[in-house]
Amino acid sequence: LLIPELATPASQQSLYEKALLVAMDKLVVSMMLLGLVAMASADCGALQALKVKSQWEQVYGVGHHRIEVGQALWKSLLAAHPGARDLFGRVRGDNIYSHEFQAHSCRVLGGIDSGISLLDDDDTLYAQLAHLWNQHRKRNIPKEYFNGLRDAVMDVFPKRIGPCFDQEAWENCFGVVVNALRDGCRCLPFEMASKGMEPVKFVEVDV
């Protein structure tokens, strides 16, 4: 008969030490992630975040107005990147006025809306951006289409907001969302990336 070996005090201590090391490793990873979040949104200051949130709500609106805004954004994006239509074959990308594409547009803009609404809540913002990034990375979407989304917003929103549009705030804060979707990087604003700063990658960890 095989009799299970009873844990001796020494073996119990060894198991305890291993468990403690694993717990410490996970704690270190968690602290690193939180630190990266703070670094990520450093250039999107509190006042800029509030302004972008307010201006997004002003344009995005509610109900049918959101469909209209979505159509304007997709028109701008697809005019610059007509090849992007091929990504939306299952949702009638050939007709942005179709019910199928309008439903898809609402889902996409809903994800962006969730990110923008959390610009002043770093911890929850990180969790949401990590979730959105995991959804998009599996689809192998060319990076230029994410840039196209950024450019579409920067094309459509100033026309609707008028002289109060804060371009610097949008570049910094909307860059947090788009960069995360595009690169999995931790929200580095575009001008930081242009200076050669290395983007910080999202990592999948069990914490």
pLDDT digits (tens, 9 = 90+) for 145-168: 899 999 999 999 999 999 999 999
Structural domain boundaries in the chain: 9-194
Outline where 138-206 has alpha helix (H): 143-161, 167-183, 190-194
* Stretch among 62-66, 91-95, 139-143, 150-154 having the lowest mean pLDDT: 139-143
**Residue 165 contacts by C-beta under 8 Å, 6 or more apart in sequence?**
55, 157, 158
Asked whether the whole model's pTM tops 0.75, one would answer no
Q: How does pLDDT run across 5-16, given as a tens digit for each residue?
A: 445 555 566 666
Cβ proximity of 46 and 38 under 8 Å = no
Q: Phi and psi (nearest 5°) for 185? A: -80, 160
pLDDT band for 206, please (50, 70, 90 cuts). very low
> What is the pLDDT of the chain when averaged over all its residues?
77
CA-nearest of 4, 99, 116, 102 to 49 is 116
Classify domain 9-194 at the CATH class level.
mainly alpha
Look up residue 174 and give its two tokens.
């909307």
